[in-house]
Amino acid sequence: MTEIAASPATPSEQDAASAGSTGDGRPRLSVIGTGYLGATHAACMAELGFEVLGVDVDPAKIARLSRGEVPFHEPGLPELLRTHVASGRLRFTTDVAEAARWADVHFIGVGTPQKVGEAAADLTYVDAAVESLARAIDRDALIVGKSTVPVGTARRLSGRVAEIRAEQGLPGQVELAWNPEFLREGFAVQDTLTPDRLVVGVAGPRAEPLLREVYAAQLAADTPWICTDLETAELVKVAANAFLATKISFINAFSEITETVGGDIRTLADAIGHDTRIGRRFLNAGVGFGGGCLPKDIRALQARVSELGLDRTMRFLAEVDDINLRRRDRVVDLAVQMLSAAHGTEADAPAPRGGKTTGPDRQVLQGKRIAVLGVTFKPDSDDVRDSPALDVANRLFTAGADVRVYDPEGNANAAARFPRLEYVGSADAALEDAELVLLLTEWAEFRALDPEEAGRRVAARLLIDGRNVLDVAAWGEAGWTVVGLGHRFDAASLA
């Protein structure tokens, strides 16, 4: 799975109880916040041979992790976690003070979600995690932020750590660094063990040598190492996510054109993607980006630069966000248009492209059985945070449609958010008697659906391919009308 070999170094009971680095001289690590990022980081660091202590404020999460169970879906992670919990190299606790006394390097992986009702990031958790460590560390240590934060946060926290420690006269030197994380959900283990690059922002002499020790395996594999100041490190992270979001919205803006004049958005993406200066990746047109990172990070960046008095600087990201959200309107509009064409009913005029939707047409949608395939924000994850697919499913339901949802891993998280939608246990069950099918997350099992077999289950062979992954010609041969996002829909074709 990984080319980086783990060194076998199971800690002795004595090592685990005493302060200082491990018997083999390697630093001991703690990871504060054991969600998608932190649990992955902790398990991967154990895989690399370190002794690791994971800390979280959620006792239920810590109980599961301590039993070797991953509380979310991430390919490859359960195996690592089980192995290293069993060996004792990886432990979990809710007690941050235990970590403060035990580890040499403390990684911070707590959440930085969007503030409710505001664009800015909520830094409550990061502040609390760093301050609780600063109050409890009683020896030399390094605090390393991995959470995504607005520029200026690390320097502010560095000052706060010094202040707290001076006030309390605590022993030991504590330095703070920032080491942003670039892992993708679904590939989190691979991205942590073999990252594209490592970026560390430092503000003192201890951080770089210690972090080089922590990442020795990646450095031996020639991973680019960018050691810089705190501000650059923070900015690299949000710049990368802003660029990726912009790339997706760029192609999705072209979808609005091809939906109007005709044309093939996939061919367009392929053709510009051949230019190596542009590249084909992240040019997949569809229902757009979601998740716990891209949407909130572009909003937090805009909020931060406005705070800095640079109101115009990131204004284009408001447009990136808007284009992205309009993709969801487009799926809802298209569902209305296809159903009204199929049933010979009059739909309200669709919203002008580039304009805000007038809201779904309740009359057309009322009681219509719609199958939604996929509700996570991307395949190979159970994450439904800001998921375009779940948003669309809920809007259709709210407008009166009889929505049946199936996702291979996301049903439970989606049901916790929108309990009134109907969730079923298979694609077949979702398809049963459906008058319209929406493919909104491109799980492999949906790409592999057999159009003939699927056709026998539904009431009407109508499908919106919200991710442009199906072979439209093959589905067409089986009698389906498939409309991909970014493709023009001609209502007359169904009349």
Ligand X SMILES: O=c1ccn([C@@H]2O[C@H](COP(=O)(O)OP(=O)(O)O[C@H]3O[C@H](CO)[C@@H](O)[C@H](O)[C@H]3O)[C@@H](O)[C@H]2O)c(=O)[nH]1
Ligand Y SMILES: NC(=O)c1ccc[n+]([C@@H]2O[C@H](COP(=O)([O-])OP(=O)(O)OC[C@H]3O[C@@H](n4cnc5c(N)ncnc54)[C@H](O)[C@@H]3O)[C@@H](O)[C@H]2O)c1
> Among all residues, which ones are annotated catalytic?
293
Tell me if 351 sits within 8 A of 329, measured CB to CB: yes
Site string for ligand X, 284-323 (x = CB under 6 A): x-x-xxxx-xx-----------------------------
Residues 6+ apart with CB under 8 A from 101: 19, 136, 137, 138, 139
Distance of CA 37 to the CA centre of its chain: 10
Q: How far is the CB of 296 from ligand Y (least distance, A)?
A: 7
Which residue in the set 50, 377, 475, 489 belongs to the binding site for ligand X (CB under 6 A)? 377
How far is 370 from 458, CA to CA, in rounded Å? 10
In the block, which residue shows the tokens 């931060």? 304
The residue among 127 and 229 lying less far from ligand Y, judged by its C-beta, is 127
List the x/- string, 86-115, binding to ligand Y by CB under 6 A: -----------------------xxxx---
Residue 358 in tokens: 């007038």
DSSP single-letter state for residue 314? T
- Return d(Cα 62, Cα 41) in angstroms, integer: 15
Do the beta carbons of residue 31 and residue 175 sit within 8 Å?
A: no
Q: Does 234 bind ligand X (CB under 6 A)?
A: no
For ligand X, the closer CB: 296 or 461: 296
288 binds, among ligand Y, ligand X, none (CB under 5 to 8 A by kind): ligand X
**Going residue by residue from 292 to 331, which x/- string records binding to ligand Y, judged by CB under 6 A?**
xx--------------------------------------
> What are the Cα distances from residue 61, in Å, to 35, 130, 189, 384?
9, 20, 19, 18
Identify any residues that bridge with 90 across adjacent strands, giving them in sequence order: 52
Amino acid identity of residue 72, one-letter, is F
Residue 381 Cα distances to 36, 240, 413, angstroms: 10, 21, 11
We find the least distance from the C-beta atom of residue 29 to ligand Y, in angstroms, to be 15
Residue 284 partner contact from ligand X, ligand Y, none using kind-dependent CB cut-offs of 5 to 8 Å: ligand X
Nearest approach, Cβ of residue 10 and ligand X (Å)? 31
Q: What is the DSSP letter of 139?
A: S
- How many residues bind ligand Y, per CB under 6 A? 26
158 binds ligand Y per the rule CB under 6 A: no
What DSSP line would sit under 95-113, residue for residue?
-HHHHHHH-SEEEE----P
Nearest CB to ligand X, comparing residues 11 and 486: 486
Q: What is the C-alpha separation between 45 and 84, in angstroms, rounded?
A: 10
Position 225 contacts ligand X (CB under 6 A):
no
Is 470 near ligand Y (CB under 6 A)?
Answer: no
Give which of ligand X, ligand Y, none residue 341 binds (C-beta under 5 to 8 Å, depending on kind): none
Considering only residues 155, 160, 184, 212, which one is a binding residue for ligand X as defined by CB under 6 A? 184
Q: Does 41 bind ligand X (CB under 6 A)?
A: no
By CB under 6 A, residue 145 contacts ligand Y: no
Using CB under 6 A, which residues numbered 17 to 46 contact ligand Y? 32-38
Q: Is 436 strand, coil or helix?
A: strand
CA angle 337, 343, 349 (to 5 degrees): 30
Residue among 28, 106, 378, 395 that touches ligand X (CB under 6 A): 378
**54 touches which of ligand Y, ligand X, none (CB within 5 to 8 A by kind)?**
none
The binder of ligand X chosen from 185, 333, 391, 409 (CB under 6 A): 185
Max Cα–Cα distance, the chain, nearest Å: 79
Eight-state DSSP code of residue 94:
S
What is the rounded distance in angstroms from the CA atom of residue 488 to the CA atom of residue 491? 10
Nearer to ligand Y, 181 or 465 (CB): 181
| Residue 181 binds ligand Y (CB under 6 A) | yes
Q: Decide whether 94 or 260 has the Cβ nearer to ligand Y.
A: 94
Q: Which amino acid is at 421?
A: L
Residue 111 binding target from ligand X, ligand Y, none, CB below 5 to 8 Å by type:
ligand Y
Binding part of the chain for ligand X, among 87-95, 221-229, 280-288, 331-339 by CB under 6 A, reads: 280-288
Report in angstroms how near the CB of residue 121 gets to ligand Y at its nearest: 8
Query: Can you tell me the distance from the alpha carbon of 6 to that of 43, in angstroms, rounded to the nearest whole number?
Result: 12
Is residue 422 a contact residue for ligand Y (CB under 6 A)?
no
Write the DSSP string, 154-173: HHHHHHHHHHHHHHHT-SS-
Per-residue string for binding with ligand Y, 370-389, x by CB under 6 A?
--------------------
34 interface partner picked from ligand Y, ligand X, none, CB below 5 to 8 A per type: ligand Y
Residues 59, 70: Cα–Cα separation, whole Å: 14
112 binds, among ligand Y, ligand X, none (CB under 5 to 8 A by kind): ligand Y
- Contact between 30 and 53 under an 8 Å Cβ cutoff? The reply is yes
Q: Which two tokens stand for residue 390?
A: 């779940």
Please report, as ranges, the residues that interact with ligand Y according to CB under 6 A.
Answer: 32-38, 55-58, 61, 109-112, 125, 128-129, 147-148, 181, 183, 185, 292-293
Please report, as ranges, the residues that interact with ligand X according to CB under 6 A.
Answer: 148, 181-185, 241, 244, 248, 282-284, 286, 288-291, 293-294, 377-378
